[in-house]
Structure 1
Amino acid sequence: MAIEVFAPAKINLTLHVTGQRSDGYHLLDSLVAFADLGDRLRLEAGPDMVIDLRGPFAEGVPRDGRNLVWKAAQGLGWAGAIHLNKQLPHGAGIGGGSSDAAAVLNALAAEGLTVPPELPLSLGADLPVCMVARGARMQGIGEQITPVSLPDLPALLVNPGCHVPTGAVFSGLAWRDNPAMPDEIPSFETARDCAVWLKDQRNDLEIPAAYVAPEIDRVLADLRCTGNEMLSRMSGSGATCFALYPTLKAAHMAAYEIGAEHPDWWIQAVTLR
């Protein structure tokens, strides 16, 4: 029997780099939300591991043991066909591969397989939070996850189509011991309340990422010119940026505004939770 799985886009509403361990891993403090848009997977048990790819962003995705979904399934001792419909751009700062792998782990755990505690983080810093797939605070090197209740956040996601190497972005950081978020994240009644609070937070990777890919600054400038925009910021290590709006209708109107000028950009109005 096939297992159908949804892997939502991960958005870093904040991303504070607060230190670096002696082994090179960076310490993070990030408020993360997930979109109602993502990749879709179908798992069919069988004797051999096979990855079948389709969708607008299938090109360039590994079909072998380099793929995180392969590693996730293999880590649980599962084999079979994984049909992956790639709706999210990869290498875009929205956790596409990590969310895919986390969705596989969650699906196989629901079928009775045991997920070793060390497996998610061994596959990547975003895996633990992607297994929660709801609003959460991510700290440490990604292993400390605290659920956070967020209101529905109407948003627009925009990616200009450039690839931003994560290593180059972290190498460009001027400081690695930046302040963390406040100890307590308040309860937000509305999307506007959340946006107001977020204005005092940061993505510490935004400046070095824009140095590597100047298109990021153009995306952020265009988002800030749209009607009813409440906050614009880069997600993860880029190049996807997001803006928050008071309503989903306003996000769709902004998508139309930007899409008319940049028809080659990836532009999606979503709700973040």
Structure 2
Amino acid sequence: MITEPAPAKLNLALHVRRRRPDGYHELETIFAFCRDGDLIELEPATDNAFAVAGPFAAALTGSAPAEPWADNLVTRAADAFTAEYRVDRAHRIALTKNLPIASGIGGGSADAAATLRALARLHRVPLDDPGLMTIAAGLGADVPACLRGATTIGRGRGDALEPVAGLPGMPVLLVNPGVPVSTGAVFARWDGVDRGPIGKDDLLTRACAGRNDLQAAARGLAPAIDAVLDLLTSAPGALLARMSGSGATCFALFDRETDRAAAAGAACARGWWCLETALA
């Protein structure tokens, strides 16, 4: 059995520069990863099988009867891996879904990336093999960053990656008001204004001076984001409070775990989903 974490992804800053001819948007973003998230467990099997458990399993699978190999990013990642590396065997994959879906923290992308890493470990494919990154890029714009799983500056679609020094151990609180937000709908509401690139200072300074250009559009679709940001921005000890990705999850960085815990208590009292964690 191979066990592989699928940590939550944060966009500490997300600058949308322009719309590309291929329909994607030119981005500059600071990817960071948390210590906690979903979990992939994988082992060889006679027939392919995929199962989901955890707090958000039902949100992912819906009310339809369970399928042995339902179509999703995890099974697509597995199929692409076996095709790329000519693996002639089946796998049993279990996903523990701890992160809310459609929430801007890379849940599906992180799960796909963790599946690729787990398969690479099982079949002794080096994690720096270029084929893995090729598969990741074909699965989605965030999957390459999630495959790497380290702090990076992402450009292009977000998949041209530049490693940078991170902020390991920094306390962070994730809060989601329980409202799923469509990435496509958020991008469709973006105002199209290029407000400039990410700066070149140290990471925390760059993040604090940056912005999330999708935040206003997401708040228009899900006004509950306003209340989350108000709480996090005013939380004692918060260094930075912002929405991640296309929302609706927001985060706050703290110097001290005690301040993070106090903010988590206030957020959880509102009935919101909260995750007290730290940057990896």
TM-score, with structure 1 as normaliser:
0.91
Shift of 1:257: 2.1
Shift of 1:204: 0.3
Shift of 1:256: 1.2
What residue number does 1:46 align with?
A: 45
SS in 2 for 1:52: strand
RMSD: 1.6
Shift of 1:272: 1.2
SS in 1 for 2:4: strand
Cα distance in 1, alignment partners of residues 171 and 132 from structure 2: 35
Gaps of 5+ in 2: 62-66
What residue number does 1:269 align with?
A: 276
Cα distance in 2, alignment partners of residues 12 and 175 from structure 1: 19
What residue number does 1:234 align with?
A: 243
What residue number does 1:135 align with?
A: 151
Partners of 1:248 and 1:271 within 8 A in 2: no
CA distance 1:60–1:48, shift in 2 (3 Å): farther
Q: Deviations over 1:189-229 (max 9, x none)?
A: xxxxx1x4423211000000000000001100011222111
Cα distance in 2, alignment partners of residues 258 and 265 from structure 1: 6
Cα distance in 2, alignment partners of residues 178 and 65 from structure 1: 41
Partners of 2:7 and 2:34 within 8 A in 1: yes
Cα distance in 2, alignment partners of residues 180 and 66 from structure 1: 37
Which residues in structure 2 correspond to 1:117-196 (within 5 Å)? 117-152=133-168, 153-175=170-192, 177-182=194-199, 184=200, 186-187=201-202, 194=204, 196=205
Partners of 1:121 and 1:142 within 8 A in 2: no
Counterpart of 2:95, as a letter, is: L
Partners of 1:17 and 1:177 within 8 A in 2: yes
Cα distance in 2, alignment partners of residues 117 and 255 from structure 1: 36
Cα distance in 1, alignment partners of residues 70 and 94 from structure 2: 15
TM-score, with structure 2 as normaliser:
0.89
What residue number does 1:4 align with?
A: 3
Partners of 2:133 and 2:147 within 8 A in 1: no
State how many pairs are aligned.
262
Partners of 2:198 and 2:206 within 8 A in 1: no
Cα distance in 2, alignment partners of residues 150 and 214 from structure 1: 31
What residue number does 1:55 align with?
A: 54
Shift of 1:37: 0.9
Cα distance in 1, alignment partners of residues 3 and 154 from structure 2: 27
Instruction: Please point out which of 99, 106, 111 is paired with 1:95.
Output: 106
Cα distance in 1, alignment partners of residues 259 and 59 from structure 2: 34
Cα distance in 1, alignment partners of residues 195 and 48 from structure 2: 43
CA distance 1:117–1:225, shift in 2 (3 Å): closer
- Report whether the alignment pairs 1:209 with 2:221: no
Counterpart of 1:121, as a letter, is: A
Which residues in structure 2 correspond to 1:17-56 (within 5 Å)? 17-56=16-55
